[in-house]
A and B are shown apart, each in its own frame.
Chain A
Amino acid sequence: MKRVINHSKDWKLTEDIKTGFTVPESYFTCIEDELFSKLIEEKLPKHNGFKTPKSYFEELEDLIIKKTKKGKVITLKRKKIKLISVAASIALLLFFGSNFIFNNNNTELSSEEIISWLDVNANLLSNDEIAFALTELNINDINPYLAIKNEDIVESLLNSNDLDYLIEDINTK
């Protein structure tokens, strides 16, 4: 076996020198895997069976172009929702956290612990829970810094370049 390997190495060296041809690195170490893969592939179905609605691709460009024009407003809405989610999470935490602190004299939550809890658990709150919390709590009463100021909303609206869409969106609600 050893002789065969040596023979193979010698043969490779002379072959490189003779022809000048080279192969990609690890070509000969991967070739078996590739051959076996091809043999297995032959037994597999060639198509995956997925299909699309008729004329789906024909209508796609216009739909996407339309969406790109509405893109900024969608982002604004998402940002607002995200801000509300974070504010509601903090409000909930402060509400329950303060109850916990007042009812338990031995334990206090530091601001680092609150931030760390939010980092890990912010995603656990569903939109329904946040919506429920907002009807039960007034963020301004708990901490005025958490409130979304009217000036911020106006500024966001003025920065939007598609007010018509936003107005239409509000009217549909």
Chain B
Amino acid sequence: METQQSLFISSLQEPETKEKAFKRLVQEYKERLYWHIRKIVISHDDADDVLQNTFIKVFKGIDKFKQDSKLYSWMYRIATNESITFINKRARERNIDITEMKQEMVSNLQSDVWFSGNDIQIILQEAVARLPKKQQLVFNMKYFDHLKYQEISEILGTSVGGLKASYFQAVKKIENYIINKHN
């Protein structure tokens, strides 16, 4: 498995094979990374922009990739950073707080043509938007992307114990938000 990854990375770094290998990489990871980004930036158009920027950064940075980490965790890290930078930039342009920005994005979901969720799904997104950034990421990666704590730990650079605590806090806050919303 390790050797297979090394070979694939070598083909991504060799100028003659780079384009073909990169196409394979996009095929393999486009959906996973898209959904990871979409849950952070909410709208499809923004997710599309961030996803393309992520892959362009991967393409430009692959030559310097040292294989200290796994390829997918490196790409997830780039996607996470790109998404957070995007949200921060938008919030700065609007001169509002990031949490406020995220809540505003979620409040637009009802009129979003690329959202088909029901009321409870909107409430869940509202609850997630109110979480601190780290808890949002952990919740999305664990609950929706079904990543293992070890994998999340490699992406976010946080200990497994710390992630479990963050996830528990996130889930508890979400539950409380949903209960309050119903009452």
Contact = CB atoms under 8 A, between A and B. Distances in A.
Q: How big is the B interface, by class? A: 35 or more
B174 A44 contact: yes
Identify whether the interface residues of A are mostly helix, strand, loop, or mixed: helix
A48 B27 CA distance: 23
B164 A60 contact: no
Contact of B120 (A29, A30, A45, A60): A45
Interface stretch (B3-11, B31-39, B65-73, B75-83): B31-39
Interface string A42-70: 01110111111100110011011101100
B167 A68 contact: no
Contact-residue bracket for chain A: 20 to 34
A123 to B, nearest CB: 7
Contacts of A64: 26, 52, 55-56, 59
B165 A61 contact: no
Contact of A52 (B52, B114, B143): B114
B104 to A, nearest CB: 17
B161 A40 contact: no
A61 B23 contact: yes
Contact of B174 (A30, A36, A40, A56): A40
B183 interface: no
B148 interface: no
Interface of A: 24-26, 29-30, 33-34, 36-37, 40-41, 43-45, 47-53, 56-57, 60-61, 63-65, 67-68, 71, 123
Interface of B: 19, 22-23, 26-27, 30-31, 34-35, 38-39, 44, 48, 51-52, 55-56, 59-60, 92, 109, 114-118, 120-122, 124-125, 143-144, 160-161, 164-165, 167-168, 171-172, 174-175, 178
23 contacts: A30-B161, A33-B165, A33-B168, A34-B164, A37-B168, A40-B174, A40-B175, A44-B174, A45-B117, A45-B120, A47-B121, A48-B117, A48-B144, A49-B116, A50-B35, A50-B117, A52-B114, A56-B48, A61-B30, A65-B19, A65-B22, A71-B56, A71-B59
